[in-house]
A and B are shown apart, each in its own frame.
Chain A
Amino acid sequence: MTEPADLSAAELAERIRGGDEGALRVTRSCLGRIQALDPQVRAFLTVNDRAQEEAWRLDRCRGQAPPATLDGVPVAVKDNILTRDLRTTCGSRILERFAPAGDATAVERLRAAGAVILGKTNLDEFGMGSSTENSAFGATRNPWDLGRVAGGSSGGSAAAVAAGMVPLALGSDTGGSVRQPAAFCGVVGLKPTYGRVSRFGLVAYGSSLDQIGPLGRTVRDVALVLTVIEGADPADATSSPVPGRDYVAACEDGVNGMRIGLPREYLGEGLDPEIERAVLGAAGRLEQHGAGTEEVSLPHTPYAISTYYLLATAEASSNLSRFDGVRYGLRAGDTGDLESLYRTTRGMGFGAEVKRRIMLGTYALSAGYRDAFYNTAQRARSVIRRDFSQVFGSGVDLLLTATTPTVAFRLGEKLDDPLAMYLSDVYTVTSSLAGLPALSVPVGLSAEGLPIGAQLIGPPFGEDRLFRAGAVIASMFGSPRPPLLPARPAGTGSG
């Protein structure tokens, strides 16, 4: 019989609703997988010790209320998203013992839909990184090859889903932090349109870019989570009232008649040829299903990394000023006066990458440099955004690119070279700067057996199109299963 931990969220919710499965049994199955594999993978920072009790309670109360969308489905939450009374560290020493007073809106909505929060997943400190090596609590390993990174910054969420520890996880994406680890770990990851999902309770990094997004093993599961967490929230003034769609139904709509653009700046130089072939294979699949593909141009793409790293760090330098050793978190010992307390606490509490980004952002905003760096980057952001509006304005429905230029790299490979690490975000930062929705979908394995991801980018609030095309691509490649996992019994499992 298939282990509950191996099923998709949609299958689990259906079985639990139908009385064929219990939330407690499902939760125990996932906890068993965590116990067996997480000592190697290190995806979780905290496992919720109340999860079994919460699942038991859901089983006891079943039938007393209308069935919920995610009834009894275990979900992991990236550790920069607040969970009431469950430690939220942001992967930082400065918040090592921080227990939030409330849930983030996205978590509140998951719980209201019947989800069991199984635990908190590892990340690059405050979301700053592309490998999850910048966590103060150690790196997460890629379930496909424990010598490689899981990607980042939502590496713990992606690895947990890939290793079958949970069917679903929340991540956050500022410049690719859901999509890049999803691609490296062979799972599906969505960055919704800026404003689609409330950020209330997401610890801010780059506020004009941050979005919470789901990761899952199937496109349909990711669609299901978006239906639960999306929508306006009075607690987040940037959340949007633009109505959502039935994203799960969109997964069945196909791509007949759609126009798919292949941006020429994303192909060729710098892209691993194996990944290019896989992405073009996905384009062929979309064509077989009735879509048309065409080459398009986003000419200002080469400016995106510079623009992103100036704007995101400028915003980070302001957002992270709240960590001062006064209201919460770490405080340095006897420091004399208040000014020294700030400097010593922050010096002790933040890791090297966070300090580097705070300093870069502070420099870009400082007197004499603001025009040359920050203001120029804001102008570059305008032209990058204009590139996308022109392409979508010409009638193109979606863009298809690689998610990453390479497959998962080795642990430590880029740790001493921040610039090389920043360049691994080259295909994901553009849509972040433009506030657009983007989905990473597995499109096969490299010759070395490592996952490859393709990225679909849509116009604002065009998530339904991403799911239409994503489901078609996924029907070709399915949900790859890392060798770390026990083999599935023949004829079972989810697609």
Chain B
Amino acid sequence: VKPTIAAKKRGLTLVELVLGLVVVSMVAGATGAMMTAVGAGWAHGNQVEVSTSVSTQAMVRIQKILRAAKQIGVCRTGGISGSPSQSAAVLIWKGDINGDGHIQVSELALIEHQSSANPASAQLVCWELVFPSTWTTAQKQAQDLTLADDAIYSDAEIDSFKATTNVRAAGIVTCVTAAEFHRIDSSGTVRPALEYALKFNKDGVVIVKYGRTTSRTPAALPASQS
């Protein structure tokens, strides 16, 4: 039977239309929810990826500094949780650059944790002596004093070193909201080590990483520390 022109032009009934809209909206809602979830998961995955990358690079940087160290000096423990009374810090003899067997101020480095309410500003910094480029050799030598062999094992040396003229801090890794250091060394230790725990907060993703790095070029402990 050939349909009439009237039948061909007939639209949907209200019920059909409502049902169709309901089905379409349900499908659209489900699709939207799924896309939102996938997007959120994707974004979170990216954040984790970035945080992992940041924390891994941070560990690599710390390892590089510590491996080259001749001695690991005084260490402030800090804390990975709670509110430690002192920030984690460790003073190291980063190398016998002039080969004289003694510690000069320019051969020191202080790794210190600087906390902040803003996780992005919380960081680990490395304090080092940086001579002004305009200084003469004589001026540099005058400031680059030789320390007593056991000076770096005194807690007071941390603040003294930071207060030294031309000693400046440079960030080595950001987003470190908490840090804890433990020095492993004694007269019977062949290779001194530093154990550390760092809590990273990158865009809300919190990661805690633990590490232990031994010095590859240890110098003998001074008599007062043996």
- Bound together: no
List residues of A whose CB falls within 8 A of some B CB: none
B residues in contact (CB < 8 Å) with A? none
